[in-house]
Amino acid sequence: MTDARLRHGRASLGLSFFAQGVAFALLVTRLPAVQERYGISDGLLPLFLAAVPMLAGVGSVATEVLVKRVRPSVVLRWSQPVVLLALLWVGGGSELWQVAVALGVFGVAVGALDASMNMLGVSLQWAYGRSIMLGFHAAYSLGGIVGASLAWVGARWDLALFVSYLPVAAVLLPVVFVGSRWFVDGVGSGASAGGVEGGGKAGASGGFRLLLPLCLVMTFAYIGDSTVSNWSAKYLEDVLGSSEQTATLPYNVYMVTTLVGRTVGDFGVRRFGAVAVVRAGALLAAGGFAVVAGAPGVGVGMLGFTMLGFGLCVIVPQTFAAAGRIFPEAASDAAVARLNVFNYVGFLVGAPLVGALGDAWSYRGAMLVPMVLVLVTLVYARSFASGSDRYGGGHERARTVDVG
C-alpha cells in the first residue's frame, strides 16, 4: 500500500471525526431550543435524552454484524450523511413525533458512525506502526469546539434551529461524502491474543474476558466525561458561588484542554508507551476530581476541571487502540464495536448517578465517585500493553510501510 494512500486515508478519517464532533455539539448544546420548539416537558426530556445513547448502542451492535458483510468504510460513508440529515430534521420538524423519530435515527446512525470510525482508526494505526489514534479524537474535540461556537452564535442571534443547522449540513454533507472515497480499511494486523468469537486461542469466552477490562475503563471514563458536561456549570454556580456567566467556562476549558491533550498525546504514547500514558491520565483525572471536590473557590475549581480535561482525554482513544492490539485483525472490528457500546453505558450512568448523589448527599461528595471509578483504570492499565505497545522513540515496531 502506498504512503500517499495511507496519508489520504488518515486525512479523510480525521475529517469524519471532525464532522461528527460538530454535529454532536450542535445537538447537545442547543437542547433547550429543541425542548422549546417541540414543547417537550421537563419530565419527558430525560426520556428523549436517554433514548439517543441507548439507540446508539443498538447501532454499534448492528455495525458489528454488518461489517461481517461489508467494509467498515462503507458503513461510515453512509452513516455520516444520515447523522447530518437527522440533525437537520431535528431542526426542521414541527411535531413531537417528528423530533422523536429524528432523534431515534440520529442515535442509531451515531452508533454506527462511532463504531466504524474507530474501526478504521485502529486499522490505520497498525498500518502506520505508531500511535495516531489520539489525533483522530483531537479532530473530534476540535469539531466539538466549532459546533459549540456555532451553537452559541445561533443562540446569541436567536436563530431558528433549522437556520442554524442548514449551513452546517450544506457544507459538511458534500465534503464528508467526497472525502469518504479515500477511506482505507483492512490494513491492520493486531497482535493476536484470542478472538472475540470462536477464533483465536482464547475462544469466545476468553475473548470477552480480554475485552472486559477495557469495557470497564471505557465506562468509567465516560462517567467522568458526562459528569463534566452535565454538572460542571451547576457545580461552579451552586457550590462554588460563581456567576452564571462564569459557570459556562468549565466545559469550554475542558473541551480546549481535551483538544490540546489529544493533539500532543500521540507523542507521549510513542515515547513512553500506552500503559504509562493511560496511568498518567487516570492519576491526573482523579486528581482533578479531588481538586474540584475540595475547591474553596472558583479559581481552584477551574484548575480541577482543567486537570480533568488533560487526564480524561487520553483514556478513550487508547482504549480503542488497545482493543485493536489485543485482538487479531479478523476480530478487531467486532471488539471495537462492542467496546463502543460502553461509551454510551458510561454516558447513561454518569449524569443521573452524580445528580442523585448530589441531591441525596452533596455535590462535593458526588465528585468523589467518578474520582474512584477513574482510579480503577490503574488496576487494568496492563490491558493497554502488548508486545509492541510503544511506537516510535526507539520503540517503534517493524513495519512494511513508511508514512508521514
Amino acid 117: pLDDT = 97
Structural domains in the chain, CATH included, are 1-181 (1.20.1250.20), 194-395 (1.20.1250.20)
Q: Which residues, including other chains, have CB under 8 Å from residue 35's CB and lie 6 or more apart?
A: 45
Q: In whole angstroms, give the CA distance from residue 369 to residue 55.
A: 27
Q: Which residues, including other chains, have CB under 8 Å from residue 22's CB and lie 6 or more apart?
A: 143, 144, 146, 147, 150, 168, 172
Q: In whole angstroms, give the CA distance from residue 218 to residue 321.
A: 12
Digit-by-digit pLDDT tens for the chain (404 residues) are 578 999 999 999 999 999 999 999 999 888 888 989 999 998 898 888 889 999 999 999 999 999 999 999 999 999 999 999 999 999 999 999 999 999 999 999 999 999 999 999 999 998 998 999 999 999 999 999 999 889 888 888 989 999 999 999 999 999 999 999 999 987 654 443 344 544 443 444 456 688 999 999 999 999 999 999 889 988 999 999 998 778 878 888 999 999 999 999 999 999 999 999 999 999 999 999 999 999 999 999 999 999 999 999 999 999 999 998 888 666 889 999 999 999 999 999 998 999 999 999 999 999 999 999 999 999 999 999 865 444 433 333 434 333 33
Q: pTM of the prediction?
A: 0.88
Asked if residue 350 lies in contact with residue 227, where contact means CB atoms within 8 angstroms, the answer is yes
Q: In whole angstroms, give the CA distance from residue 44 to residue 30.
A: 17
Beta strands in 48-190 (DSSP E): none
The CB density around residue 118, as the number of other CB atoms within 10 Å, is 31
**Short-list 173, 86, 190, CA closest to 133:** 190
Beta strands in 285-341 (DSSP E): none
Please name the helix (run of DSSP H) or strand (run of DSSP E) that holds residue 392, with its range, or none: none
**Degrees to nearest 5, angle at CA 225 with 220 and 230:** 125
C-beta pairs of 363-366 under 8 Å, 24+ apart in sequence: 363/231, 363/234, 363/235, 363/238, 363/239, 364/239, 364/293, 364/294, 365/293, 366/231
The CB density around residue 4, as the number of other CB atoms within 10 Å, is 11
Q: In whole angstroms, give the CA distance from residue 41 to residue 32.
A: 11
Q: Which residues of 10-27 are buried (b: 16+ CB within 10 A; e: fewer)?
A: bebbbbbbbbbbbbbbbb
Asked if residue 383 lies in contact with residue 214, where contact means CB atoms within 8 angstroms, the answer is yes
Amino acid 152: pLDDT = 86
Q: In whole angstroms, give the CA distance from residue 253 to residue 93.
A: 33
Q: Which residues, including other chains, have CB under 8 Å from residue 78's CB and lie 6 or more apart?
A: none
**Short-list 251, 224, 257, 271, CA closest to 377:** 224
